[in-house]
Chain A
Amino acid sequence: MINFGYKIMRDESIDLDRNDMRIAEYLKLHEPSIKLCIGCGSCTATCSTGHFTDFNIRQVHTFIRRGEIKRVKKEIQRCMFCGKCQLVCPRGVNLRNVILTINRAIEQIG
């Protein structure tokens, strides 16, 4: 094998045909309120962690729902469970439990 001085880049798009959707399915089953998300960003706007870092809770749980678990596995640990997101959600998504459920799913499924 020849080293040409660069690596073939990986496709970074979301591939819903190949992604592992088990954590997303687990989440929908155990915290079904997540299905009601309308992507408005109220959660991110009020997020305590997000105020001090570039953590974007809306983006993180959207990635989870797309099966992009690797991308946000570390990221999700930054949530401080203050629960403000849940207070502002216009669709009543129990976001605190969404994060807890994702963590549980990661433990169980990997």
Chain B
Amino acid sequence: MKIDGKRNIWKDYQKEIAADRYFYVRSCVRQNFFPGSEKTFLRIMKDELHKDVFENAAHTTCSGIGYHSDVVPFETAMTMVARQFSIMTESGYENFTTSCITSFGLYSEILETWHHFPEVEERIRQHLLKATGRTFNKPANLSHASDVIFKFRKEIAANGKYKLINKNTGKPLRIVEHIGCHYSRMFPGKGIGGAEYPYVLVGMIEEWGGEVIDYPERRHCCGFGFRQYLVQANRGYSIASTKKKFDSMAPYKPDFILTNCPGCPMFLDRWQYALSEMEGITYGENGHGIPVLTYEELAGIILGYDPWDIGLQVHQVPVEPLLDKIGIPYDTPRKFLTMDGKMMGQPNAPSNLKFYQHE
């Protein structure tokens, strides 16, 4: 592998990312499964980078999961997106940053559609006006929240307490990066690094001291496939896709997986559990899984945030082995406590996948 070859491609896919004053919209999957990640993103943006990130309570889902599972028509999804733009406009912002990759892909697709078919944009403006009385400006800058963290990766490294180095061996951690399909597959120019060798996560890993693993099924989808997970009968396909990826990456013995899409970390995490229960397979060392992190969680780790404050306790594949490798202290007794420090019971341990509980 010649890394310079990739660097030449990365040069061709630079992308303009706004420097401040972001209008932030949330992700349905993130809020449900890894809420700590969105909290950590805002904490980093405000406390470390002193940026203006604004959220308006009136924004809703973009309806993307409904759209990609085909119950929500394109016309509706476009108008829902137009409404988000309208809320951005009324809030006085023009840099739109989304937490979700499905949304980011949908926003990109819609803006592109409007560019090529201005009559569609006009029709959607009429729909929105009629339904809600709203008008809107299109964003001056559209980014995914991972683009923003990428942009400030050096500042985060400068403020950082930890590096992606194995403290026992002194060697860089070996990391698999997984990019959400809708980040740049349809429009390679909209993603940092393009569609074939996206750089958005690689850039963070390089900057924070880790080493990136490229493996044959790197580009393969995590298996979500919308309806392919939403309906139980289809999940055999979803889990088979994930298994394909794990079988392909396992020989490289990755220390963890880094993701930028809200859905992927959930599936890469949960399907490891399901595979351990269905077939007794575990992909890490000694019955451990391979920890899966969001980029917000990783940035939080680098900055020395408490693992349980950034939400690492809601991973089914425990992250403790990774924290140990980096040398991050954690307080196991606090792992499953409430905000006020009260007990609320603990999750059961899976049968085959190692899990960490307190006494």
A touches B (Cβ under 8 A): yes
Q: Which residues of A contact B (CB under 8 A)?
A: 1-2, 4-11
User: What is the bound-complex CA distance between A9 and B235, given in angstroms?
Assistant: 9
A-B contact pairs, 29 of them (CB 8 A): A1-B277, A1-B278, A1-B279, A1-B280, A2-B278, A2-B351, A4-B277, A4-B278, A5-B232, A5-B233, A5-B235, A6-B232, A6-B233, A6-B234, A6-B236, A6-B239, A7-B236, A8-B236, A8-B239, A8-B240, A8-B243, A8-B275, A8-B278, A8-B279, A9-B236, A9-B240, A10-B240, A11-B240, A11-B244
Beta-carbon nearest neighbor of A6 in chain B: B236
Smallest CB separation, A11 vs chain B (Å): 7
* Additional A-B contacts beyond A4-B278, A9-B236 (6; CB < 8 A): A1-B278, A4-B235, A4-B274, A5-B233, A6-B235, A8-B239
User: What is the bound-complex CA distance between A9 and B239, given in angstroms?
Assistant: 8
Interface residues of B in 243-275 (CB under 8 A from A): 243-244, 274-275
Smallest CB separation, A94 vs chain B (Å): 39
**B237 lies within 8 A of chain A by Cβ:** yes
Beta-carbon nearest neighbor of A3 in chain B: B278
Beta-carbon nearest neighbor of B281 in chain A: A8
Total A-B residue contacts, Cβ distance less than 8 Å:
35
Q: Find chain A residues with CB under 8 A from B279 CB.
A: 1, 8
Beta-carbon nearest neighbor of B239 in chain A: A8
User: What is the bound-complex CA distance between A7 and B274, given in angstroms?
Assistant: 11
User: What is the bound-complex CA distance between A5 and B279, given in angstroms?
Assistant: 14
Smallest CB separation, A34 vs chain B (Å): 31
Q: Find chain A residues with CB under 8 A from B243 CB.
A: 8
User: What is the bound-complex CA distance between A11 and B239, given in angstroms?
Assistant: 12
Smallest CB separation, A75 vs chain B (Å): 25
Q: Find chain B residues with CB under 8 A from A7 CB.
A: 236
Q: Find chain B residues with CB under 8 A from A1 CB.
A: 277-280
User: What is the bound-complex CA distance between A2 and B353, given in angstroms?
Assistant: 13
Q: Find chain B residues with CB under 8 A from A10 CB.
A: 240
User: What is the bound-complex CA distance between A1 and B279, given in angstroms?
Assistant: 7
Beta-carbon nearest neighbor of A10 in chain B: B240
Beta-carbon nearest neighbor of B275 in chain A: A8
Q: Find chain B residues with CB under 8 A from A8 CB.
A: 236, 239-240, 243, 275, 278-279
User: What is the bound-complex CA distance between A9 and B279, given in angstroms?
Assistant: 13
Q: Find chain A residues with CB under 8 A from B278 CB.
A: 1-2, 4, 8
Beta-carbon nearest neighbor of B243 in chain A: A8
Q: Find chain B residues with CB under 8 A from A9 CB.
A: 236-237, 239-240
Beta-carbon nearest neighbor of B271 in chain A: A8
